[in-house]
Structure 1
């Protein structure tokens, strides 16, 4: 029996996720009563997924990235100044559907910390700098995302994100992050923790597949009532991916980055942190269910876009000289 490599698993992840959406839709439409238990299953699965993902962050690489700050500054300016301005322009083109806009803002304003590294490697980028960027980008977005939402929305966020409703989302984010930091620090002295950290790299793809399946099954009713929104999510996702390439090229030229760092920047700006914000979308009150579906749809659009990025970025945007 052939052994599936970790790299092969990640290369084929888009098919896992598309299959999960299809299966989830069938389950949700065939057995509507399954929506509540499947939505409940999302939360522990998300916790495990976030832990498996956070353990792949390399906190020890951050000091090395500070010794060569050009790329780090370029990535932070691109992700937290330029791309938010792009997102604001994109959502201004969309219908004034609050759940649609909030779902897109949540996901498009949060830079990726997981498959960003995978696609950077596949696209000939600098995996070490990508690894060093992820913890910095994670903590920056956790601090800046509430500010962006205040700036970019005109509805009462306090009523939407009530603490009594979102505290499970905060817990499902904070607990895995703390556990992952403990695992990384402890792995330097304890072999068992090092083994856990090494083994965790196998779990993000299958766990995210389960999450997508459960979200699709439990929210297919909301999506079927709002099918017209899918084209707007596709438009927003497509415009974002194209804009990220343009911004990456401009910022790379301004910062005089070498080609491999320019490629890394393109993937840093083009990938988003869908399942970091998904718990908050799932905790929204009744009437906002479509926000979680928007995040899942955008993630699939992004994955298809990354297949194009892997070929286009090193061959056309940042070719080797």
Structure 2
């Protein structure tokens, strides 16, 4: 979705500002934070609807030109990463914390990773084509992940969860798709592209708003027991290190070109925390610890993405001096 953003760093700064703003609001003005948190549901509806309104399926043809990169990205995100995440979360002593970190780790990003891919000089054409495919896969698998990993947290509410997800995901998604079809039927091509481009550019603002209100509503849970959540930061850090190392090995094994290598690194490093947090807030409304664990993942993710962007850029400029990154 950030394909339309000229500098991925601007979106990153926006998200970090939302994290800081929401955290400060929740810490120093809990009453106001409670009022702000009431905007979570409508913002989630807007986010899901806008995601599907701007979803571009015409780029899927690019996947035929890069089948190896596509298969490696899907294999890493939906086969390797679940195994690594499940293994590392076993280090956490709390079921709710484990569930939150698992949900965070299991969903590949469908928006800002493309901005970082562009900054690193990666293959953004194939990256854009991966967005709809990975979004559909992660959303289809979300109820399965809950059933497999949530255990007693949702056993008694799976029916209610399915109904809730239907209402809060399928309905806005259908509205977004219907609006896209209507736009195609009634608007000339030039006007249609202008509307889609404007909506694309507004997506970081919507995501930032979601991040802000959810942080404002949940940061109190983290501050109430900081020692309990310290392990989450360690596990998420280890997760990113492990995935980076595995990705480097895969890039070397399959002799990926630099652009393909950068794309694989970014799509396996960036996680879809806002959407997963939004869905989990709806599916498991009475699990603030789960929500807080997902939130903490973002605190590690953005510095991590910034660091690997610099490493990839350095490898691109000095391939001989950065053999370990270039593969």
Range of TM-score over shorter length: 0.7 to 0.9
Matched with 1:157 is: 154
TM-score normalized by the length of structure 2: 0.84
Q: Deviations over 1:85-128 (max 9, x none)?
A: 10011111111x22212211112101111011111111111010
Measured on the aligned residues, the alpha-carbon RMSD in Å equals 2.8
Report the CA distance shift for 1:302/1:56 in structure 2 as closer, same or farther (over 3 A).
Answer: farther
Contact 1:263 1:318 in 2 (8 A): no
Matched with 2:136 is: 139
**Between 106-115 and 222-231, the greater mean CA deviation after superposition:** 222-231
Aligned residue pair count: 314
SS in 1 for 2:108: coil
After TM superposition, list the pairs within 5 Å mapping 1:200-239 onto structure 2: 200-239=199-238
Structure 1 segments unaligned to the other structure (5+ residues): none
Partner Cα distance (2:264, 2:184) in 1: 28
Shift of 1:312: 1.4
Contact 2:66 2:126 in 1 (8 A): no
**Between 111-120 and 65-74, the greater mean CA deviation after superposition:** 65-74
**Between 74-83 and 295-304, the greater mean CA deviation after superposition:** 295-304
Contact 1:107 1:272 in 2 (8 A): yes
SS in 2 for 1:7: coil
Partner Cα distance (1:233, 1:16) in 2: 24
Partner Cα distance (1:37, 1:168) in 2: 23
Partner Cα distance (2:182, 2:110) in 1: 17
1:116 maps to 2:123: no
* Structure with the largest fraction of helix: 2
Contact 1:25 1:217 in 2 (8 A): yes
Contact 1:260 1:318 in 2 (8 A): no
Partner Cα distance (2:231, 2:189) in 1: 49
Q: Deviations over 1:137-164 (max 9, x none)?
A: 1111122233334333443533355235
Shift of 1:59: 1.1
Report the CA distance shift for 1:183/1:251 in structure 2 as closer, same or farther (over 3 A).
Answer: farther
Structure 2 segments unaligned to the other structure (5+ residues): 316-321
Report the CA distance shift for 1:253/1:183 in structure 2 as closer, same or farther (over 3 A).
Answer: farther
Report the CA distance shift for 1:192/1:303 in structure 2 as closer, same or farther (over 3 A).
Answer: same
Partner Cα distance (1:232, 1:185) in 2: 49
Report the CA distance shift for 1:296/1:279 in structure 2 as closer, same or farther (over 3 A).
Answer: same
Shift of 1:42: 1.6
**Between 30-39 and 114-123, the greater mean CA deviation after superposition:** 30-39
